[in-house]
A = this chain, B = another copy of it.
Amino acid sequence: MQLYDLAGRDPEHRFSPYCWRSRLALAHKGVEAEIIPWRFTDKPAIVFSGQGKVPILVDDKNIIIDSTRIADYLEAKYPDRPSLFGGPEARALTGFIVTWTDLVLLPALVRCYVSDIVRHLDERDRGYFRETREARFGMTLEATTSDRDTKLPALRQMLAPLRQILGQQAYLGGAEPLYADYVVFGGFQWGRMVSRFDILEEGDPVWAWRERMLDTHDGLARRAPCCG
In contact, A89 and B97 (Cβ under 8 angstroms): no
Residues of the B chain whose Cβ atoms lie less than 8 Å from the Cβ of A168: 95
CA distance A97 to B94 in the complex (A): 10
Q: Does A153 have its Cβ within 8 Å of any Cβ on chain B?
A: no
A99 with B174, Cβ < 8 A, contacts A83-B89, A90-B87, A93-B180 known: no
In chain A, positions 81-111 with a C-beta closer than 8 Å to chain B are 83, 85-100, 102-104
Q: Kindly identify which residue among B93, B165, B171 contacts A172, using a CB–CB cutoff of 8 Å.
A: B93
Cβ of A165 to closest chain B Cβ, rounded Å: 4
In chain A, positions 156-176 with a C-beta closer than 8 Å to chain B are 160-162, 164-165, 168-169, 171-175
Of chain B, the residue at the smallest CB distance from A85 is: B89
Instruction: Determine which residue in A92, A97, A164, A175 has the highest number of CB atoms from chain B within 10 A of its CB, and name it.
Output: A92
Q: Kindly identify which residue among B93, B97, B174, B180 contacts A88, using a CB–CB cutoff of 8 Å.
A: B174
Of chain B, the residue at the smallest CB distance from A100 is: B161
In contact, A92 and B174 (Cβ under 8 angstroms): yes
CA distance A85 to B89 in the complex (A): 7
In contact, A178 and B86 (Cβ under 8 angstroms): no
In contact, A89 and B87 (Cβ under 8 angstroms): yes
Cβ of A166 to closest chain B Cβ, rounded Å: 9
Q: Kindly identify which residue among B86, B95, B173, B175 contacts A165, using a CB–CB cutoff of 8 Å.
A: B95
- Residues of A with Cβ closer than 8 Å to B? 83, 85-100, 102-104, 160-162, 164-165, 168-169, 171-175, 178, 180
